Structure 1
Amino acid sequence: MSDDKNSNGVKRKLKTRHVSMISLGGSIGTGLFVTSGSTVSQAGPGGALVAYILMGLMVYFLMTSLGEMATNTPVSGSFAEYAGKYVDPALGFAMGWNYWFNWAITVAVDISTAALVMKFWMPNVPSWIFSGGVLILIFLINAASVGAFGEIEYWMSLIKVATIIIFLIVGVLTIFGIMGGGTAVGLSNFTYKQAPFVGGIPAMLSVFVVAGFSFQGTELVGITAGESDDPKHSVPKAISEVFWRIILFYILAIFVIAALIPYTSPNLLGSSASDIAISPFTLVFKRAGLAAAAGIMNAVILVSVISSANSGMYASTRMLYSMSDGDFAPRRFGKTNGRGVPFASLVITTVIALATFITSFAGPEIYLWLVAASGLTGFIAWVGIAISHFRFRRAFVKQGHSIDELSYHAKLFPIGPVLTLILCILIIVGQDLSAFSNFNWKEIGITYISVPLVLILYIFYKVKNHTKLIPLDQVDVKPVSKQTIDSEK
């Protein structure tokens, strides 16, 4: 094994700037550009801000938990490996397949969304042509090399970040009346009618769900750690930067939207990627007098969707690769080509994404269930990360180690894992409580199918392999250092 490979064989070609921007870009997508307006409509400006602030803090604590484990053991497909090493191999198996399935399905959703966005310019061209083109594009990017993936994802993420910065500048100038006709809006919309808090606690809880989906993708920093050229430096740096940028971008963006658009505006309701004209970003740009806002935002959202699909392909490929190394998947998926790309894992992930996309035409009902099956996967992954970190830290101390031995420390342990567990369980349970009151079993199944699927995977592996919860004094907490990597060559 050469010096630029990690302990499970993947080449370390992601630079620190790649890791930072990928983990940031993974959490900035249509959730911010399109659906963020609905949170202001549902809970009012105050309710939306409180929900995003609390969710942002939870995500930060979660990322520090992941960072502590990722700097100690930097591997691709980290979630499954950590769950398998620190908790129970059965949990690692369930977490890995659950996460792989989620991103493979998400790729199919993203390429479908890309086609809807392209309809803005070419409404008469069949959607499947656009979707097929995007799928081929992201396959080629991921097949080239991890360095090529990192560089392209870096620039796509940079476009999203630049758009938000411009939006914030334009928004603040409009609030003070410098742009948009010279009339200062100030904070009048924060006290308009029932604002700032609309709908009370139930409305705020519903916004937690939207905010949670918006922040999903930040955990990609754990995936990239395995291919970072300097994980002990790049991962902590990425976590710190991602926290501040997400808090600034999301909180300030919601603030600007809430200040300029009253929560009663019908344009904040029902936003979707197929109707870019009512994106809250578009509305703010138009209010500032920028007539070309719809076309510009459409291009940015297209980049955002392609970036999401690209990151999803990368994450699912590396997770499958990692599982083969841990005997959770067939060994053939653990082979890399001359460029260090796990090509077999990439191909099977692409095939599943393509098959899922085809079902949207051949069997819409099947497609609906497949998409639903991946709906709660991100939150389930967060729960797994929290449990794994709680067990890792307890085992580390129980085995006589000092926390000072860790190169990166999770903040305010055990607040992170505990807060993550509480909020994620609340979000998972609260997805669609009305379905239970009406006993709508189909709706319940579509909403919560992710949960029984994970349980089935967990029970299957546990029964088959007779696994048990690993005793704390037997948990493998030894760090993977450069010396360890060299000894495994």
Structure 2
Amino acid sequence: MNHHQTELKKELKVRHITMISLGGIIGAGLFVGSGSLINMAGPASIFSYALAGLLVVLVMRMLGEMSMINPSSGSFATYAREALGPWAGYTIGWLYWFFWVIVIAVEAIAGANIIQYWFPSLPSWSASLVLTFLLTLTNVYSVKSFGEFEYWFSLIKVVSIVLFLILGGAIIFGFVPGTESPGISNLIHRGGFFPNGINSILLGITLVMFSFMGSEIVATAAGETSHPEKAITVATNSVIYRILVFYLGSILVLVTILPWDSHTLLKNPFVSVLELVNIPAAAQIMNFIVLTAVLSCLNSGLYTSSRMLFAMAQNGDAPRMFFKVNKKGVPLYAILGCTVISYISVIFNYLSPDKIFLFLVNASGGVALLVYLVIAFSQLRMRRKYEKENPEALKIRMWLFPYLTYATIIAIASVFVAMPFIDSMRSQFFLTLLIVVFVLVTYFVTKNKRSTDLLSEKKKQMPLQYKAK
């Protein structure tokens, strides 16, 4: 194995990272899933998004601090290994990988269902496999092709949200001919701003946290750009505006225009707003936008899971074959490995949607919170190390350290602990714990073998290193 066989190419440009950071947080959950949360919490659902968004902003600040000093495709798994020990890097790396390969399958199935809207005779399972295969090709070809596809996917999502906010504002302020402004009636005249109490807001935070998963992809992508500092700075500093504009802005428009207790209108809230002003083919337009969001998530899932697998193989936590890259600097085997698991998951959905596939989806439910917790604990440990060894490298700093870091840890831990007390989240909590225990067991069972294999690999490389010198 030579140097070029294990080196990722830095072909992502700052514009790629910038657009990925802008659009990466906009998932299909915003367009489709927001309606159920509004039905549950009413206008106060905006507080659920705001509080969950605040936690994500703080976590991203911590991740940006560490990424600025050590840009890595392993991202927080690499930092966890360094800060907390090999067991932490191994565990969170495999959990995050598991989360994204399941997301790939879920998004492929969601995309297939949308395509059936236009082609009802097309089998869902075949469309799922085709979508996964096509986006696998974009990832396999080069990291630049991934960046280009994600750039345009993200651009479509960002432009769509901006146009929706402009339209929503026009409706609210009565600038749309033939449409009566709702004013603030939907905010205060249907049981008030908190129709279902404070508890619904807290429950909403638990649900919303999963919608924000994907913000951390930028830290992974920064390892494959020639300007990592600039890319990380842009992504870290813009996360506040992304959440404030795209999520809080959209939810504010929805709860102002649509009655929160209307199950019909909120089944697909964005379509309902478009139909309110008689926009032709509103459902067609939104289906296209949601399909774009799904494909974007599928594309990002393939990229992120493969880079995590690559980084784990580099540390000896995964088979060494996943550490190899092709001539274009792409971890081909890692991508194919993630894809195979997703194909199997899609097949499980076809054969046993209510058992095996449902188990896999629920088992990945709490991973987002665990990832955020590990990032916070890692930053807490690494910040003190950086301040002693290289304080000048801290170009991005966590605000009010260590108090905000402690507050973030307590808040995220509280959300995780609350999961078993919520009927809809209980199964996800216990299944996630089951997966965590399984991964930890595999770490200790294979610990000696992995150490031996990694040492053997380093010995094989020594003659090549001396030769290079």
Name the TM-score, length of structure 2 as normaliser. 0.90
Identity %: 39
**Aligned counterpart, 2:437:** 455
Question: Which residue of 397, 404, 410 maps to 1:422?
Answer: 410
Number of aligned residue pairs: give it. 449
Once the two structures are TM-superposed, the CA of residue 415 in structure 1 deviates from its matched residue by 4.2
Deviates more, 1:283-292 or 1:407-416: 407-416
**Aligned counterpart, 2:217:** 220
Q: Please list, as runs of the form range in 1=range in 2, the aligned pairs for 1:9-408 lying within 5 A after superposition.
A: 9-45=7-43, 47-179=44-176, 181-267=178-264, 278-364=267-353, 365-397=355-387, 400-401=388-389, 403-408=391-396
Once the two structures are TM-superposed, the CA of residue 24 in structure 1 deviates from its matched residue by 2.9
Once the two structures are TM-superposed, the CA of residue 372 in structure 1 deviates from its matched residue by 1.4
- The letter for the 2-side match of 1:98 is L
The answer on whether the counterparts of 1:67 and 1:235 sit within 8 Å (CA) in structure 2 is yes
2:333 partner SS: helix
1:449 partner SS: helix
Query: What is the CA–CA distance in structure 2 between the aligned matches of 1:380 and 1:368, rounded to whole Å?
Result: 20
Query: What is the CA–CA distance in structure 2 between the aligned matches of 1:366 and 1:62, rounded to whole Å?
Result: 32
Distance 1:444 1:50, change over 3 A: closer
Q: Once superposed, what is the RMSD of the aligned Cα atoms?
A: 2.3
Distance 1:328 1:201, change over 3 A: same
- The letter for the 1-side match of 2:165 is L
Once the two structures are TM-superposed, the CA of residue 395 in structure 1 deviates from its matched residue by 2.5
Query: What is the CA–CA distance in structure 1 between the aligned matches of 2:15 and 2:61, rounded to whole Å?
Result: 18
Q: Which runs of 5+ in 2 are unaligned?
A: 449-467
Query: What is the CA–CA distance in structure 2 between the aligned matches of 1:265 and 1:328, rounded to whole Å?
Result: 50
1:35 partner SS: helix
Once the two structures are TM-superposed, the CA of residue 321 in structure 1 deviates from its matched residue by 0.2
Once the two structures are TM-superposed, the CA of residue 242 in structure 1 deviates from its matched residue by 2.9
Distance 1:182 1:350, change over 3 A: closer
Once the two structures are TM-superposed, the CA of residue 74 in structure 1 deviates from its matched residue by 0.5
Distance 1:146 1:134, change over 3 A: same
The answer on whether the counterparts of 2:72 and 2:220 sit within 8 Å (CA) in structure 1 is yes
Distance 1:52 1:446, change over 3 A: closer
| Deviation by residue 1:227-281 (Cα, 9 ceiling, x = unmatched) | 1221111101112123212211111111100110011111255xxxxxxxx3211
Query: What is the CA–CA distance in structure 2 between the aligned matches of 1:54 and 1:381, rounded to whole Å?
Result: 18
Query: What is the CA–CA distance in structure 2 between the aligned matches of 1:453 and 1:307, rounded to whole Å?
Result: 27
Query: What is the CA–CA distance in structure 2 between the aligned matches of 1:296 and 1:124, rounded to whole Å?
Result: 21
Question: Which residue of 402, 419, 422 maps to 1:431?
Answer: 419
Query: What is the CA–CA distance in structure 2 between the aligned matches of 1:28 and 1:141, rounded to whole Å?
Result: 21
The answer on whether the counterparts of 2:265 and 2:272 sit within 8 Å (CA) in structure 1 is no
Name the TM-score, length of structure 1 as normaliser. 0.87
Query: What is the CA–CA distance in structure 1 between the aligned matches of 2:177 and 2:414, rounded to whole Å?
Result: 41
